[in-house]
Amino acid sequence: MKLGAEHLDDLALGSVFLATGGGGDPHVPILRTHEVLKRQGPVELLTPEDLPDDAFVAAIGNVGAPTVSLELLPSDDEALIALEAFETQMGRKLDAVVSFEIGGGNSLIPIMAAASRGIPVVDGDGMGRALPEAQMMTYAIRGIPSPPALACDYARNVTLFTTKGTDVYERHIRALAMSSGGMITTVEHGMTGAILKDALIPGTVSFALKLGTFLREHRGQATALFDPLKQLIADSIYGECRLIHTGKVVDKSTRIVGGFDVGNTIVEGFESDQPPVEIDIKNEYLLARRGDQVLASVPDLIIIVDYETSEPINAERLRYGQRIAIFAIGCPDFYRSADALKAVSPRHFGFDLDYIPLERLPS
C-alpha cells in the first residue's frame, strides 16, 4: 500500500500505543513527515514478501531519552544527513529503509526518510513495540551487526561507529546520545532483504495504522474499549490482552540517567480498597506490580491510556493527577525464545524475577 499524509495521525496514535511509554513524542515527527509527504507524494509500504532478497536495507531511528524530545526539537535534515553519511560509508545507495521500533516518533522517522529519498519503507520493525536498548532489537538478536553505523546530532555533528558487538555498540551510541543533548538519529544494520526477512517482526506498520484507526473510532472510556480491543489484539501477532488497572497517578518520578528516562510511577486505584499499582520505567513501561504481585513484565507490552478517551500516554507526558487505565498485551512470539529473552527478560533490566508470559500470570 501507499502511505500518505492522511495516514499519519492514525499511524502515530497506533504506534504511541505500541510504544509502551517510549519512542519519543510524535508531534514534531508528524509535522515533519506530513510536510515531506505533501511535497514528495506518498511512500510505498513494502510487505516483506515484496522486498527483493538482494535489496540493500538499513534501520533508522532516534536513540536517547524521550523526555528530551519535548525540548530539543528535532531538525528537518538530521535523518537525511545520517542516511547520506551511511550511504557514503557503505559506498552504495539504500533500496529501502526499516524501523528500529514501531513506537511513537520512531515509527515516523523511517517514513520521513523514505519519502525524502523516494524509496520504500518496509512493513515491519525490529521490536514489535519500543524497547530502550540496541541489543534488544530482533536484528541484533538474530546476529546482524549494527556497525558500521552513522549518527547525526542536533548540531549536524556526524559520528561513525565501527564497534564490535552490539553490547559495545549500545554503550558507545548511548555515550554519544548523552553528550549530544540526549537524542541522536542513527542509521545502522545495513543488511540484505533476505537477512532482514529472517529477523523482522512483520506487518507492524500496517497494524499500527489499523490500531490507530480503531482507537480513533473507539475513542471513549478504556473500560468500554476493552472488549473490542481484546478482539483486535487476539487476531494479531500480540495475542493476549488484559485491562490490569484503572486509577489516578499519585506519583511520577523519572530522571535522565545514562541517556535513558529512568524512574517509576504509582497509580492509585479508583476503588479505594485496591492497593496501588507501581510501574517501573526505563524509557518504556517495563514492569507493573501490585504489591509483590507481578501484573505484567517486559517483553510483554504495558500500555497507559487516558481513562476517558483511551488515548495512549507516553511516559514523558505522564503526570501527577492523570486518570488512566493500564493495559497489558502479549509480546510477539519472537521475544519468547531463549535467545531473545537473554536480551529482554526482566532480569536483564535488573529486576529479580523471571519472565512469565502474560497469559500465565494470575489475572
Partner 1 sequence: MRIGIDVGGTHTDAVIMDGNSVITSTKVLTSADVMEGVANALDTVLRDSGLPSAQIQSVMIGTTQFTNAIIERRQLAETGVFRLCLPAGRGLPPMVDWPDDIADAVGRHAYPLHGGYLYDGWPVADLDEDEIDKAIADAKAKGLKNFAVASAFSPMNAEPEQTVAARLKQAIPDAHITCSQSFGRLGLMERENAAVLNATLLQFADTVVSAFLDALRTRNLSCPVFISQNDGTLMSADFVRAFPALTFASGPTNSLRGAMLLTGLEDAIVVDIGGTTSDIGVLQGGFPRESNAVIEVGGVRTNFRMPDIQALGLGGGSLISADGETLGPQSVGHRLTTEGLVFGGNTLTATDIIVASGHQQIGDVSAVAGLAPDLVETARRKMLTILDRGIDMMKPGAVDMPVILVGGGSILVTGDLQAASQVHRPEHAGVANAIGAAIAQVGGESEKIVSYQSIAREDAIAELRTEADARALGAGATKESLRVVDIEETEVPYMGQDTMRVRVKVIGELASSTAEAGT
Of these, 148, 181, 269, 357, which contacts partner 1 (CB under 8 A)?
A: 181
Of these, 74, 103, 124, 247, which contacts partner 1 (CB under 8 A)?
A: 74
Q: Residue 322: count other Cβ atoms within 10 Å of its Cβ.
A: 18
258 binds partner 1, rule: CB under 8 A: no
* The three cell numbers locating residue 226: 476493552
178 binds partner 1, rule: CB under 8 A: yes
Stretch that binds partner 1, among 27-35, 46-54, 92-100, 282-290 (CB under 8 A): 27-35
CA distance 126 to 168: 19
Size of the site for partner 1 (CB under 8 A): 42
Of these, 8, 37, 55, 68, which contacts partner 1 (CB under 8 A)?
A: 68
269 binds partner 1, rule: CB under 8 A: no
Stretch that binds partner 1, among 64-72, 114-122, 234-242, 331-339 (CB under 8 A): 64-72
CA distance 147 to 144: 9
Do 330 and 296 contact (CB within 8 A), yes or no? no
Q: How far is the CB of 73 from partner 1 (least distance, A)?
A: 3
Of these, 41, 220, 228, 258, which contacts partner 1 (CB under 8 A)?
A: 220
Do 316 and 27 contact (CB within 8 A), yes or no? no
CA 106 to the chain's CA centroid: 6
CA distance 268 to 331: 26
278 binds partner 1, rule: CB under 8 A: no
In the shown chain, the binding pattern of residues 307 to 326 toward partner 1, with x for contact by CB under 8 A and - for none, equals xxx-x-x--x--xxxxxx--
3-state helix, strand, coil in the chain (%, to 5): 40, 30, 35
154 binds partner 1, rule: CB under 8 A: yes
Q: How far is the CB of 335 from partner 1 (least distance, A)?
A: 30
Q: How far is CA 19 from CA 212, 258, 347, in A?
A: 12, 20, 21
DSSP-derived secondary structure letter, 322? -
Neighbouring C-alpha atoms within 13 Å toward the C-beta of 91: 0
Q: How far is the CB of 181 from partner 1 (least distance, A)?
A: 4
Q: Which is nearer to partner 1, 175 or 353 (CB)?
A: 175
Q: Which is nearer to partner 1, 158 or 168 (CB)?
A: 158
Of these, 12, 37, 55, 65, which contacts partner 1 (CB under 8 A)?
A: 65
Which amino acid does the sequence have at 44? E
195 binds partner 1, rule: CB under 8 A: no
72 binds partner 1, rule: CB under 8 A: yes
Q: Which is nearer to partner 1, 206 or 246 (CB)?
A: 246
70 binds partner 1, rule: CB under 8 A: yes
Backbone φ and ψ for 321, nearest 5 degrees, come out as: 90, -15
Stretch that binds partner 1, among 53-61, 154-162, 166-174, 230-238 (CB under 8 A): 154-162
158 binds partner 1, rule: CB under 8 A: no
- DSSP H or E segment with residue 304: strand 301-306
Q: How far is CA 165 from CA 134, 201, 280, 309, in A?
A: 11, 22, 28, 43
Alpha helix (H) residue ranges in the chain: 8-18, 27-40, 78-90, 109-117, 138-141, 166-179, 193-199, 204-217, 222-234, 338-344
Stretch that binds partner 1, among 25-33, 122-130, 207-215, 352-360 (CB under 8 A): 25-33
Q: Which is nearer to partner 1, 2 or 156 (CB)?
A: 156
> What sign results for the dihedral spanned by CA atoms 228, 283, 348, 170?
positive
What are the residues binding partner 1 (CB under 8 A)? 27-28, 31-32, 65, 67-68, 70-77, 154-156, 178, 181-182, 220-221, 223-224, 251, 253, 255-256, 306-309, 311, 313, 316, 319-324
